[in-house]
């Protein structure tokens, strides 16, 4: 932790709109994968593979607009790759709302350095997902191979933000997590996990349920498309579990959008998900100035 603090002091300038990348762990603490980290275009999306050095990239609003709320954005990619560009774009949109955003580059499982980037573990997981989408069985998705390490990185990120809340001008009680697909599974793990690293709220985009859901899990914004080929009913399952536990939750199931929609307009109803998220955050007071907001950062 001392090394992290020292490193932060060197590379974390608090100037407006600065984009800073911070390692989650001291150098050498995480064993590297056999294949080096790489980037590749997959279906038009820039993906990052073989991540063994998890980081947070900070996207700050203008100083006068910062409202004290922070959101960790967790990319999707099946715990094999990370759709980082999409999450970075969302982080910038959040910053436009006065939110201090942090893109989480969490660890992935090792994948071949070829055009497919498909490890055997992921092929087996996708086979289960497709069979489940057709039959409804099993009811709950087995834990993915890369999920435990990714969730650990998420908990580490929450702790780091709370430890440095004053430095970054954020309220430690207003730290949320927004996750896409596998990133949404990560966010659910945090929302129902250890209270010490539980986010104040979560936004779950086309993710899936983990249980049991405790009565003090994080309030949730949930969104997916009805034509999702991989997780057709899972957002509804999350919502039902949250409501059964007596927890605040809002659900949006768009008629069209498929699996993986983001900010790029598709001419589908899912194009409006960010506006719906904005309305939900506004109604919960997360876009109002709070502790740490509307101040000149050091």
Say which range, 118-122, 209-213, 234-238, 262-266, has the weakest mean pLDDT: 118-122
Mean pLDDT computed over every residue of the chain: 89
**Rounded average pLDDT over 162-183:** 96
**Rounded average pLDDT over 260-284:** 96
Say what the alpha-carbon torsion angle 65, 71, 72, 77 is, to the nearest 10 degrees: -110
CA distance 52 to 33: 6
pLDDT at res. 11 = 34
User: With contact defined as beta carbons under 8 Å apart, do 84 and 132 qualify?
Assistant: no
Looking at per-residue pLDDT, the higher value among 181 and 119 belongs to: 181
Q: State yes or no: pLDDT of 5 exceeds 90.
A: no
Using pLDDT thresholds of 50, 70 and 90, give the confidence band for residue 19.
low
pLDDT digits (tens, 9 = 90+) for 175-220: 999 999 999 999 999 999 999 999 999 999 999 999 999 999 999 9
Q: State yes or no: pLDDT of 30 exceeds 50.
A: yes
User: With contact defined as beta carbons under 8 Å apart, do 256 and 224 qualify?
Assistant: no
Phi/psi of residue 274, nearest 5 degrees: -70, -35
How is the chain split into domains, by residue range? 2-283
Superfamily of domain 2-283: Alpha/Beta hydrolase fold, catalytic domain (3.40.50.1820)
Q: State yes or no: pLDDT of 12 exceeds 60.
A: no
Q: State yes or no: pLDDT of 170 exceeds 60.
A: yes
Say which range, 14-28, 31-45, 101-115, 218-232, has the weakest mean pLDDT: 14-28
First to last CA, the chain: 22
pLDDT at res. 50 = 96
Using pLDDT thresholds of 50, 70 and 90, give the confidence band for residue 63.
low
pLDDT at res. 249 = 98
pLDDT at res. 15 = 34
Looking at per-residue pLDDT, the higher value among 9 and 141 belongs to: 141
**DSSP structure class, residue 191:** H
Closest CA to 16 of 97, 105, 95, 102: 95
CA distance 215 to 190: 14
Which residue is listed with tokens 């609003």?
A: 61
pLDDT at res. 117 = 81
Q: State yes or no: pLDDT of 38 exceeds 50.
A: yes
Q: State yes or no: pLDDT of 164 exceeds 80.
A: yes
**Rounded to two decimals, what is the model's pTM?**
0.90
Q: State yes or no: pLDDT of 262 exceeds 50.
A: yes
């Amino acid at each position: 932790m001392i090394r992290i603090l020292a490193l932060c002091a060197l590379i974390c300038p608090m100037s407006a709109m600065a984009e800073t990348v911070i390692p989650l762990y001291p150098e050498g603490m995480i064993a590297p994968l056999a294949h080096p980290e790489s980037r590749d275009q997959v279906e038009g999306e820039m993906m990052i593979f073989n991540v063994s050095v998890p980081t947070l990239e900070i996207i700050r609003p203008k100083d006068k607009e910062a409202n004290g709320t922070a959101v960790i954005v967790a990319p999707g990619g099946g715990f094999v790759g990370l759709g980082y560009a999409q999450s970075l774009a969302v982080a910038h949109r959040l910053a436009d709302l006065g939110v201090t955003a942090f893109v989480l580059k969490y660890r992935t499982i090792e994948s071949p350095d070829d055009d497919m980037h498909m490890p055997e573990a992921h092929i087996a997981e996708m086979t289960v997902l497709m069979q489940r989408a057709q039959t409804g069985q099993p009811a709950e998705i087995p834990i993915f191979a890369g999920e435990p390490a990714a969730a650990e990185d998420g908990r580490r990120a929450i702790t780091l933000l709370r430890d440095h809340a004053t430095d970054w001008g954020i309220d430690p009680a207003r730290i949320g997590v927004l996750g896409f697909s596998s990133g949404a599974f990560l966010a659910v793990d945090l929302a129902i996990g250890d209270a010490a690293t539980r986010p104040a709220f979560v936004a779950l985009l086309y993710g899936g349920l983990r249980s049991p859901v405790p009565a003090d899990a994080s309030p949730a914004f949930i969104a997916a498309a009805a034509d999702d080929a991989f997780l057709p009913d899972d957002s509804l399952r999350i919502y039902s579990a949250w409501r059964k536990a007596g927890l605040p939750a809002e659900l949006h199931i768009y008629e069209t959008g498929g699996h993986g929609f983001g900010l790029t307009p598709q001419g589908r109803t899912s194009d409006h998900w960010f506006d719906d998220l904005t309305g939900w955050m506004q109604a919960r007071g997360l876009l109002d100035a709070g502790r740490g907001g509307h101040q000149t950062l050091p």
